[in-house]
Structure 1
Amino acid sequence: MTKKAFTLIASFLISYLGANAQSSANLVQYINPFIGTGAVDASSLSGSNFPGATTPFGLVQLSPDTQDNPDNPASGYDYNDKTIVGFSHTHLSGTGVADLFDILFMPTTGKIYTTPGTSENPETGYRSRFSHSQESAKAGYYQVKLLDYNINAELTATEHAGFHRYTFPQGSDAHVIIDLNHSLNKKRSYWSCRIIDAQIRQVNDRTIEGFRIITGWAQLRKVYFYAEFSKPITSNEMVSGNHIYNNNTIVNGTNIRAALNFDTKDATPLLIKVGLSENSIANAKENLNAEISNWNFDGIVKEAQAKWEKELDKIKIEGTTEQKQIFYTGLYHAFTQPNNLADVNGDYMGADYALHKAKDKTDYSTFSLWDTYRAANPLYTLIQPKRTAGFIRSMMRQYETYGYLPIWQLWGEENYCMIGNHAIPVIVDAALKGIKGFDINEAYEAIKASSTVSHPGSPFDVWTKYHYMPEDLQSQSVSITLEMSFDDWCVAQLAKKLGKTADYNEFMQRSNNYKNLFDKSTGFFRAKDANGKWVSPFNPLDYGGNGGNPYTEGNAWQYLWYVPQNVPELINLLGGKAAFANKLDSFFTIKDLPKEVNGNASGFIGQYAHGNEPSHHITYLYNDAGQPWKTQYYVADVLNTLYNNSSSGYSGNEDCGQMSAWYIFSSMGFYPVNPASGIYEIGSPILKKASIQLASGKTFTVNTKNASEVNVYIQTVTLNGKPYNKTFITQKDIDNGGTLNFVMGAQPNKRWGVAQ
Structure 2
Amino acid sequence: MMKTRKAFVLAAFCLIIVDLACAQSTEDKVTQYVNPFIGTGAVNGSSLSGNTYPGATSPFGMVQLSPDTRDEPEWDAACGYNYNDKTIAGFSHTHLSGTGAPDFFDILFMPTTGQVHTRAGNANEPNSGYRSRFSHSEESARAGYYQVKLLDYNINAELTTGTHTGFHKYTFPKNSDAHVVIDLDHSLKKPNWGCKVIDAQFKVINEFTIEGYRVITGWAKLRKIYFHAEFSKPITNQIIADGGTVFQNNAVVNGTDLRAVLDFDTKDEKPLLIKIGISAVSTNNARFNMQQEIPHWDFNLAVAQADDVWEKELSKIKISGTKDQKQIFYTSLYHAFIQPNTLSDVNGEYPSINYTIRTGRQYSTFSLWDTYRGAHPLYTLVQPARTADFVNSMIRQYEDYGYLPIWQLWGQENYCMIGNHSIPVIVDAVLKGIPGINRRRAYNAIKASSTVSHPGSPFDIWEKYKYIPENKLSQSVSVTLEMAYDDWCVAQLAKELGETDDYNHFMERSQFYKNLYDTQTGFFRARDDKGNWLTPFNPLQYGGNGGNPYTEGNAWQYFWYVPQNISSLVELTGGKQAFDNKLDSFFTITATHGEVNGNASGFIGQYAHGNEPSHHVTYLYNYAGQPWKTQYYVSKVLTDLYTNNSAGYSGNDDCGEMSAWYVFSAMGFYPVNPASGIYDIGTPLLSKAALKMPNGKMFTMIAKNISKENIYIQAAKLNGKDYQLTYITQQDLEAGSTLEFTMGSRPNKKWGVPKTK
> Fold conserved (TM > 0.5)?
yes
SS at match of 1:264: coil
- Residues 451-488 of structure 1 show CA distances to partners (whole Å, capped at 9, x for unaligned) of 00111000111001011000000000000000000000
Aligned-residue offset at 1:596:
2.9
Does 1:546 pair with 2:545?
Answer: yes
CA contact (8 A) 1:636 1:709 kept: no
Distance in 2 of aligned mates of 1:15 and 1:665: 37
1:43 and 1:223, CA in 2 relative to 1: closer, same or farther beyond 3 A? Answer: same
Point out the more displaced range, 243-252 or 439-448: 243-252
For residues 203-602 of structure 1, the aligned pairs below 5 Å read 203-358=205-360, 362-593=361-592, 595-602=594-601
Q: Which residue of 1 aligns with 2:39?
A: 36
Residue type at the aligned position of 2:544: G
Q: Please report the TM-score for the alignment, with normalisation by the length of structure 1.
A: 0.97
- Aligned match for 1:62, one of 61, 65, 79: 65
Distance in 1 of aligned mates of 2:137 and 2:740: 43
Q: Which residue of 2 aligns with 1:93?
A: 97
Aligned-residue offset at 1:252:
1.3
Distance in 2 of aligned mates of 1:275 and 1:152: 22
Does 1:47 pair with 2:44?
Answer: no
- Residues 76-123 of structure 1 show CA distances to partners (whole Å, capped at 9, x for unaligned) of 000000000000000001111100000000000000011111110031
SS at match of 1:123: coil
- Residues 403-460 of structure 1 show CA distances to partners (whole Å, capped at 9, x for unaligned) of 1110000000110000001000001001111111010111001000000011100011
1:744 and 1:344, CA in 2 relative to 1: closer, same or farther beyond 3 A? Answer: same
CA contact (8 A) 1:46 1:73 kept: no
SS at match of 2:716: strand
Aligned-residue offset at 1:568:
0.4
Distance in 2 of aligned mates of 1:222 and 1:696: 39
Aligned-residue offset at 1:247:
1.7
Distance in 1 of aligned mates of 2:671 and 2:69: 37
- Aligned match for 2:177, one of 169, 173, 177: 173
Distance in 2 of aligned mates of 1:706 and 1:545: 43
- Aligned match for 2:150, one of 137, 143, 146: 146
Q: What is the aligned-residue identity percentage?
A: 67
Aligned-residue offset at 1:12:
10
Task: State how many pairs are aligned.
Answer: 747
Distance in 1 of aligned mates of 2:535 and 2:132: 53
Q: Which residue of 2 aligns with 1:708?
A: 707
Aligned-residue offset at 1:248:
1.7
Distance in 1 of aligned mates of 2:581 and 2:655: 34
CA contact (8 A) 1:644 1:650 kept: yes
CA contact (8 A) 2:83 2:646 kept: yes
Does 1:743 pair with 2:742?
Answer: yes
Point out the more displaced range, 291-300 or 620-629: 291-300
SS at match of 2:98: coil
CA contact (8 A) 1:238 1:250 kept: no
CA contact (8 A) 2:407 2:415 kept: yes
CA contact (8 A) 1:378 1:429 kept: yes
Q: Which residue of 2 aligns with 1:127?
A: 131
- Residues 595-650 of structure 1 show CA distances to partners (whole Å, capped at 9, x for unaligned) of 43100010000000000000000000000000000000000000000001100000
Q: Which residue of 2 aligns with 1:111?
A: 115
Distance in 1 of aligned mates of 2:179 and 2:221: 32
Aligned-residue offset at 1:712:
1.0
For residues 677-692 of structure 1, the aligned pairs below 5 Å read 677-692=676-691
Aligned-residue offset at 1:14:
8.7
CA contact (8 A) 2:213 2:283 kept: yes
CA contact (8 A) 1:201 1:208 kept: yes
Residue type at the aligned position of 1:165: K
Residue type at the aligned position of 1:641: D
CA contact (8 A) 2:542 2:593 kept: no
Aligned-residue offset at 1:292:
1.3
CA contact (8 A) 2:726 2:754 kept: no
SS at match of 1:427: helix
Q: Which residue of 2 aligns with 1:733?
A: 732
Residue type at the aligned position of 2:573: L
1:85 and 1:755, CA in 2 relative to 1: closer, same or farther beyond 3 A? Answer: closer
SS at match of 1:491: helix
Distance in 2 of aligned mates of 1:43 and 1:27: 29
Distance in 1 of aligned mates of 2:441 and 2:37: 42
Distance in 2 of aligned mates of 1:258 and 1:21: 46
Distance in 1 of aligned mates of 2:649 and 2:412: 28
SS at match of 2:454: coil
Residue type at the aligned position of 1:296: D
CA contact (8 A) 1:25 1:313 kept: no
Aligned-residue offset at 1:696:
1.0
CA contact (8 A) 1:642 1:650 kept: yes
SS at match of 2:85: coil
Aligned-residue offset at 1:594:
7.5
Aligned-residue offset at 1:13:
12
Aligned-residue offset at 1:21:
6.4
Q: Which residue of 2 aligns with 1:27?
A: 30
SS at match of 2:287: helix
Q: Which residue of 1 aligns with 2:197?
A: 195
Residue type at the aligned position of 1:328: Y
Distance in 1 of aligned mates of 2:753 and 2:60: 42
CA contact (8 A) 2:668 2:682 kept: yes
Q: Which residue of 2 aligns with 1:182?
A: 186
Distance in 1 of aligned mates of 2:257 and 2:449: 40
Distance in 1 of aligned mates of 2:185 and 2:126: 18
CA contact (8 A) 1:541 1:596 kept: no
CA contact (8 A) 2:46 2:647 kept: no
Aligned-residue offset at 1:755:
5.7
Residue type at the aligned position of 1:564: P
Distance in 1 of aligned mates of 2:39 and 2:713: 30
Residue type at the aligned position of 1:26: K
SS at match of 1:400: helix
SS at match of 2:140: strand
Aligned-residue offset at 1:73:
1.6
Distance in 1 of aligned mates of 2:545 and 2:609: 18
SS at match of 1:465: helix
Aligned-residue offset at 1:388:
0.3
Distance in 1 of aligned mates of 2:476 and 2:490: 21
Distance in 1 of aligned mates of 2:160 and 2:16: 35
SS at match of 1:105: strand
Q: Which residue of 1 aligns with 2:3?
A: none
Distance in 2 of aligned mates of 1:89 and 1:654: 20
- Residues 346-398 of structure 1 show CA distances to partners (whole Å, capped at 9, x for unaligned) of 1100010111111xxx2000000000000000000111111100101111110
